[in-house]
């Protein structure tokens, strides 16, 4: 069968092939190496508790930015086991991501091969850190661009354009506030660079005001709750121009040779397309897509690494920039089937290597975790200690940081650190809970003090054999499980002062 790579049906079939390949790693493991995944799923457990108990210590913030992803997580919570919820929700998010990329490529008449190749950047830092809302917000932004920059938008009646604009701004804000801000910047820059579009600006501008006011109110509320934190540049903008920086944050998931080779292929693809189109470059590029690509690239280069408790504040923009760059620039002039086959083979290879790496992580670095969850009593209080810190197979800075939070998602445990400690979460402690133990043990387990153990019934610790031997040697950790990288201990000091922690 010959696929019509330019037709609607052909594009849809190829997108389905991309989805099938991308699903492999999510279906091949029980524990996806995604840092925040357990905490995100735990929010659904807390939502169920808060909804069923008016006296619970939690408040549910139903109407707030960044919470659209919980609709998808909630659907998965209703259909799957707690262990599967996070993986399946991420897999579905990937499908929506690909739908946004391929829909935009079709609307803007960009090559399907570019859409396939650019879809690979879903497997970037935002995925491995578990930024569900940000990942879901990108296809919302792409749908926004495809509607606003499409010819059909200009032909719609004024009232229809206004209603559509209102819906699109709402999707951006409730998927992630950063995408709402990105939409505002893109909208403003588009009016500057594409003056002929100004006459269509009013219906879109009308929809901005209520959401901008709501976003401002929400931000002030967060600030009053003490959510803000100092910004950290970490790496200066000129240092980010190094090829190694781009290689680290474009994908940045897998250790080894594959990702650098893949990125070299992408670079060759871009250079070949530009070289072949050098005589008609203005006809072959899409300025509507290059504008947001440039905006996101500048964000990646200029923004701080951390701002207002938001991790990867700058780096998260590089993958979206590359998606739009690939779509906006000309593809190499080769036979459509050959280009499509090459892009599909590259994407499938990335999915395969990702699957292999995730299987190795599960086998070696999540070993013992199933036994830990099986042995943990319901409704325990759990201290999480990540002594593993890094993975041999992944580049993610701290892939196991929140692994202990599976205890809450699966067994309803109370955790030493929870997303409920932050007022921007769907479910949060109100008033804030007391945490008398040492702060930031999630990040710095080496700071553990003996007195911290009296607040917890159990400890979930990840580490080497030497690490576990050292814990046992203290005499304060009673082993419940005794094999694997992850092990469960009973705290011998629990309640020793007559005071039980939350």
Per the structure, the count of domains in the chain is: 2
Q: Looking at residue 195, what is its pLDDT?
A: 80
The pLDDT confidence band at residue 199, using thresholds 50, 70 and 90, is confident
| Collapsed DSSP state (helix, strand, coil) of residue 252 | coil
Residue of 362, 387, 360 lying closest to 460 (CA atoms): 387
Q: Are residues 376 and 355 in the same domain?
A: no
Helix and strand numbers (H, E) in the chain are: 20, 7
Average pLDDT over residues 30-42: 98
CA atoms of 282 and 260, how far apart (whole Å): 30
Question: From CA 262, how far away is CA 215, in angstroms rounded?
Answer: 39
With 0-12 / 13-18 / 19 or more C-beta atoms within 10 angstroms meaning exposed / middle / buried, residue 189 is middle
Q: Cβ distance 502 to 433 under 8 Å? A: yes
What is the CB-side half-sphere exposure of residue 92 using CA atoms within 13 A? 15
**Residue whose C-alpha is closest to residue 222's, from 73, 61, 71:** 61
pLDDT at 47 over 70: yes
Question: What does the alpha-carbon distance between residue 250 and residue 261 come to, in Å, rounded to a whole number?
Answer: 13
Residues 316 and 379 in one domain: no
**Residue 46 counted as domain residue:** no
Helix (H, G, I), strand (E, B) or coil at 380: coil
The residues facing 386 across adjacent strands are: 462
Asked if 202 and 226 sit in the same domain, the reply is yes
Assess whether 301 and 437 both reside in one domain.
no
Cα–Cα distance between 301 and 348 in angstroms, integer? 30
Neighbours of 146 (CB within 10 A): 21
CA distance 96 to 151: 23
Residue 450 placed within a domain? yes
Q: What is the pLDDT of residues 375-427, one digit of tens each?
A: 999 999 999 999 999 999 999 989 999 999 999 999 999 999 999 999 899 99
More confident residue, 46 or 228: 46
Among 384, 378, 373, which Cα is nearest to 413's? Answer: 378
Token pair in block for residue 43:
């929010």
Residue 136 in domain:
yes
CA-nearest of 498, 500, 441, 354 to 22 is: 354
5-14, 170-179, 290-299, 444-453: least confidently modelled range: 5-14
pLDDT digits (tens, 9 = 90+) for 256-301: 999 999 999 999 999 999 999 998 999 999 999 999 999 999 999 9
CB-based burial of residue 49 (10 Å sphere; 0-12 exposed, 13-18 middle, 19+ buried)?
middle
From 341, 360, 379, the end of a domain falls on: 360
- CA distance linking residue 29 with residue 363, whole number of Å: 9
- Specify whether 196 is located in the same domain as 276: yes
- Banded model confidence at residue 501, pLDDT cuts 50, 70, 90: very low
Phi, psi of 232, deg, nearest 5: -135, 120
Cite the DSSP H helix spans in 225-286: 243-250, 258-276, 281-284
Q: What is the DSSP string of 104-160?
A: HHHHTT--HHHHHHHGGGGSSHHHHHT-HHHHHHHHHHHHHHHHHSSHHHHHS-HHH
Region of poorest pLDDT, from 142-156, 449-463, 465-479: 142-156
Instruction: Give the chain's mean pLDDT.
Output: 94
Task: Note whether residue 324 is domain-resident.
Answer: yes
> Following DSSP, what letter does each residue of 469-498 receive, concatenated?
HHHHHTSSEEES--SSSEEEEEETTTTTTS
Q: Which of 339, 360, 381 is the last residue of a domain?
A: 360
- Does 55 reside within a domain? no
Tokens of 271: 């250079």
pTM, to two decimals: 0.95
Q: How many Cα neighbours within 13 Å face the side chain of 111?
A: 28
Q: What burial class does residue 27 get, using C-beta atoms within 10 Å of its C-beta: 0-12 exposed, 13-18 middle, 19+ buried? A: exposed
Q: Which segments of 176-235 does DSSP mark as H helices, in order?
A: 177-193, 201-224
Using a 10 angstrom Cβ sphere, with 0-12 exposed, 13-18 middle and 19 or more buried, the burial of residue 399 is buried
Nearest to 43 by CA among 437, 432, 456, 421: 421
Answer yes or no: is 36 within a domain: no
Domain boundary among 328, 360, 392: 360
Query: Is 476 contained in some domain?
Result: yes
Overall average pLDDT of the 205-233 stretch: 84
State whether 347 and 379 are in the same domain.
Answer: no
Encode pLDDT of 148-190 as tens digits.
Answer: 987 788 788 999 999 999 999 999 999 999 999 999 999 999 9
The span from the CA of 280 to the CA of 284, in Å, is 6
Calpha distance 405→428 (Å, rounded): 15
Q: What is the pLDDT of residues 319-351, one digit of tens each?
A: 999 999 999 999 998 887 899 999 999 999 999
Q: Is residue 40 part of a domain?
A: no
Co-location of 348 and 374 in the same domain: no
For residue range 109-143, list pLDDT tens digits in order. 999 999 999 999 999 999 999 999 999 999 999 99
Residue 436 has φ and ψ, to the nearest 5°, of: -75, -10
Point out which residues pair with 382 in neighbouring strands: 415, 458
* C-beta of residue 31 within 8 angstroms of C-beta of residue 362: yes
Question: Percent of the chain having pLDDT more than 70?
Answer: 97
* Residues whose CB is less than 8 angstroms from the CB of residue 87 and which lie 6 or more positions away in sequence, other chains included: 26, 27, 29, 30, 32, 37
- pLDDT value of residue 150: 79
Q: Which residues contact 26 (CB under 8 A, 6 or more apart)?
A: 32, 87, 88, 90, 91, 94
**Separation between Cα atoms, residue 44 and residue 408, nearest integer Å:** 10
Residues 290 and 411 in one domain: no
108 and 135 together in one domain? yes
Domain check: are 211 and 92 in the same one? yes
Residues shown for the chain: 502
Could you tell me the residue range of the domain that residue 442 belongs to? 369-491
3-state secondary structure 20-60: HHHHHHHHHCCCCCCCCHHHHHHHHHHHHHHHHCCCCCEEE
Least confident of 199-203, 251-255, 385-389: 199-203
Same domain as 325, residue 283: yes
Give the integer Cα–Cα distance in Å for 258 and 352: 11
Residues 380 and 346 in one domain: no
Is the per-residue pLDDT at 499 higher than 50?
A: no
pLDDT-derived band of residue 5, with 50, 70 and 90 as boundaries?
Answer: low
Predicted pLDDT at 502: 37
Supply 216's token pair.
Answer: 């401002």
DSSP secondary structure code for residue 307 in this structure:
B
């Amino acid at each position: 069968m010959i696929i019509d790579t330019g037709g609607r049906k052909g594009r849809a079939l190829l997108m389905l092939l991309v989805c099938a390949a991308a699903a492999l790693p999510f279906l091949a493991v029980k524990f996806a190496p995604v840092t925040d995944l357990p905490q995100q799923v735990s929010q659904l457990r807390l939502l169920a508790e808060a909804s069923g108990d008016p006296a619970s210590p939690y408040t549910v913030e139903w109407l707030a930015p960044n919470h659209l992803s919980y609709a998808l997580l909630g659907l998965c919570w209703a259909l799957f086991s707690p262990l599967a919820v996070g993986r399946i929700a991420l897999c579905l998010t990937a499908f929506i991501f690909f739908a946004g990329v391929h829909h935009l490529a079709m609307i803007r008449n960009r090559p399907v091969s570019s859409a396939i190749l650019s879809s690979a950047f879903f497997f970037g830092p935002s995925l491995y850190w578990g930024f569900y809302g940000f990942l879901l917000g990108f296809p919302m932004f792409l749908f926004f661009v495809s509607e606003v920059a499409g010819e059909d938008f200009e032909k719609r009646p004024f009232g229809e354009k206004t209603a559509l604009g209102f819906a699109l701004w709402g999707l951006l804000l409730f998927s992630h506030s950063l995408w709402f801000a990105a939409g505002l910047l893109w909208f403003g820059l588009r009016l500057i660079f594409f003056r002929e579009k100004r006459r269509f600006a009013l219906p879109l501008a009308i929809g901005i005001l209520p959401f901008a006011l709501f976003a401002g109110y929400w931000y002030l509320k967060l600030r009053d709750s003490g959510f803000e934190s100092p910004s950290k540049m970490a790496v200066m903008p000129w240092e980010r121009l190094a090829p190694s920086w781009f290689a680290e944050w474009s994908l940045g998931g897998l250790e080894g040779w594959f990702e650098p080779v893949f990125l070299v292929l992408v670079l060759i693809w871009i250079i070949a397309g530009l070289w072949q189109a050098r005589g008609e470059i203005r006809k072959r590029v899409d300025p509507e897509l290059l504008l947001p690509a440039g905006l996101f690239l500048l964000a990646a280069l200029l923004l701080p690494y951390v701002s207002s408790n938001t991790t990867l504040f700058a780096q998260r923009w590089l993958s979206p920039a590359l998606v739009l760059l690939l779509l906006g620039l000309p593809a190499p002039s080769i036979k459509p089937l050959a280009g499509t086959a090459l892009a599909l083979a590259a994407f499938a290879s990335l999915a395969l290597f990702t699957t292999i790496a995730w299987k190795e992580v599960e086998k070696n670095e999540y070993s013992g975790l199933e036994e830990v969850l099986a042995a943990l009593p319901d409704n325990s209080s759990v201290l999480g200690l990540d002594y593993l810190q890094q993975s041999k197979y992944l580049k993610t800075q701290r892939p196991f940081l929140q692994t202990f939070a599976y205890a809450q998602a699966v067994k309803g445990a109370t955790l030493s650190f929870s997303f409920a400690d932050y007022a921007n979460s769907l479910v949060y402690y109100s008033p804030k809970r007391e945490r008398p133990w040492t702060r930031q043990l999630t990040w710095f387990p080496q700071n553990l003090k003996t007195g911290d153990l009296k607040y917890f019934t159990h400890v979930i610790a990840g580490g080497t054999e030497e690490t576990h031997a050292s814990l046992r040697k203290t005499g304060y950790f009673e082993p419940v499980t005794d094999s694997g990288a992850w092990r469960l201990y009973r705290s011998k000091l629990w309640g020793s002062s007559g005071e039980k922690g939350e």
